[in-house]
Structure 1
Amino acid sequence: MLLLLLLLLLLLLLLLLLLLLLLLLLLLLLLLLLLLLLLLLLLLLLPLLLLLLLLLLLLLLLLLLLLLLLLLLLVLLLLVLLLPPPPPPPTTTTTHHHHHHHHHPTTTSTSSLLLLLLPLLLLYLLPYYYYYYDYYYHY
């Protein structure tokens, strides 16, 4: 019961945080709109100031994006903390699993090695390819 209550409280806190964020976003949007209006006014007056304001707007947008990213990260962290840990694997077929695991790393390592070697091979063969290409085009 206590755990449930705690979870509920956490969820409520999360919701409150989200609401606050939404409010902040709305305020920022309003500010942006005001800035845009100012920009429109200045468009008739000075292009230089307009450029400066545009830069400011861009900075604001970047800050907004950063804030959103941070919030997303926080929410993800909270979710990870809230979610129960994954259940442990069944310990009935331990010997069987061990056999399989011995083979797996070797295959993965070989495949990775092959993947690494492929570009090298291509690089090695490229000059030849060009050479033949040239040869055929000339004669």
Structure 2
Amino acid sequence: MLLLLLLLQLLLLLLQLLILLLLLLLLLLLLLLLLLLLMLLLLLLLKLLLMLMLLLLLLQLLLLLQQLLLLLLLLLLLMLLLLLLLLLLQLLLLLQQLLILLLLLLLPLLLILLLLLLLLQLLLLLQQLLLLLLLVVLQLLLHCYCYFYYS
């Protein structure tokens, strides 16, 4: 009977040891699960960080694209300004050619006016000459009249 009691006690001890081992194993499993959850959380955080970095890169790329578009717009405005300047220059050249053509057209008129002025001057000179001649003839007639009158 004593032997049976000892055996029973030993069995109880073994059972307690087994329960303790099972609890320890359960604790280990819980720790492992916790570690796994922690690793999953870390992976999630890493993924989030990666997404944030990707978003930052995308934002930087967008900023670069915006600067490039601004530069392109500036270049386009500069080209438009150059085109306007070229058109203005073309217009000025056309105006200059038009003025030269007008001068060439007006040149014969100016020459005719100059010839008319010269002719008028010549007529004035001729008139003065005729007046002078008339004065001389009148003077001669006066002298003749005086000569015949007093003689």
**TM above 0.5, one fold?**
no
Question: TM-score normalised by the shorter chain: which range applies?
Answer: 0.3 to 0.5
TM-score (norm 2): 0.30
When Rg is computed on C-alpha atoms for both structures, the one with the higher figure is 2
Higher relative contact order (CA 8 A, sep 6+): 1
**Which structure shows the bigger proportion of residues in helix conformation?**
2
TM-score (norm 1): 0.32
